[in-house]
């Protein structure tokens, strides 16, 4: 028998994911600021590309939070 869908803590988990992703984003930006003259252009591009993906993930997480909030009011 399948477990019922318990969405009670989805918003909390999403918010934790947002915080974690933002922390990683800021750490990567700090790394680039501190070591930009010491890393290769390839590594810089990889970090910048990963940060763009992180920004997209944060945007998606925020949309999911809105969706969860709408479902919790139903």
Model confidence over 16-47: pLDDT tens digits? 999 999 999 999 999 999 999 999 999 999 99
pLDDT cut 90: percent of the chain above it: 76
Distance of CA 66 to the CA centre of its chain: 15
Q: Please choose, from the candidates 7, 19, 9, 4, the residue with its C-alpha nearest in 3D space to the C-alpha of residue 57.
A: 19
What's the pTM value of the predicted model, to 2 decimals?
0.82
Q: Please choose, from the candidates 6, 54, 3, 7, the residue with its C-alpha nearest in 3D space to the C-alpha of residue 27.
A: 54
Rounded CA-CA distance 21/18 in Å is 5
Where are the chain's structural domains?
39-74
């Amino acid at each position: 028998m399948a477990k019922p869908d318990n969405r009670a803590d989805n918003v909390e988990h999403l918010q934790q994911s947002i915080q974690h992703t933002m922390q990683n984003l800021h750490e990567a930006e700090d790394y680039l600021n501190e070591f930009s003259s010491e890393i290769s252009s390839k590594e810089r591009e990889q970090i910048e590309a990963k940060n763009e993906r992180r920004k997209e993930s944060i945007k998606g997480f925020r949309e999911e939070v809105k969706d969860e909030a709408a479902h919790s009011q139903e």
